[in-house]
Structure 1
């Protein structure tokens, strides 16, 4: 699978944020970490990455995972 430069920025930004802060970034924080102009740009890229099978978790909205077991 080949990711665009922007998608690679998103993945790298998310990884760096988690390494530095110990939790997933919000979309706004992810946009800032990846050098994007807005949270909506980050949201669009995250949705595209998820369709490609790349898992990027963000804070702000509840995930579909069980809060107890993580599945």
Structure 2
């Protein structure tokens, strides 16, 4: 699993958001924090999900099992 620079930026932005606000960011908030468009965030999150890296956002199901977290 190799993440691109943009994907690493999204991951760091999402972690920083959760650390500061205690909840996952929305797609728009994540896009603003990373300095990219919402469509780019959506595309990158989908690619990351396919690689096994899930970033949860508000307003969208996380696709994780509520019991085991996978």
TM-score band, normalised by shorter chain = 0.7 to 0.9
| In 2: Cα distance, 1:62 partner to 1:50 partner | 13
Match of 1:23 in 2: 23
| In 1: Cα distance, 2:10 partner to 2:27 partner | 10
Q: Can you give the 5+ residue segments of structure 2 that lack an aligned partner in the other structure?
A: none
Match of 1:51 in 2: 50
TM-score by length of 2: 0.84
Q: Can you give the 5+ residue segments of structure 1 that lack an aligned partner in the other structure?
A: none
Quote the offset at 1:62 in angstroms.
Answer: 3.4
Q: What does 1:1-71 correspond to in 2, within 5 Å?
A: 1-36=1-36, 38-65=37-64, 70-71=66-67
Q: How many residues align?
A: 67
Runs of 4 or more consecutive aligned structure 1 residues displaced over 6 Å after TM superposition? none
Aligned-residue RMSD, C-alpha: 1.5
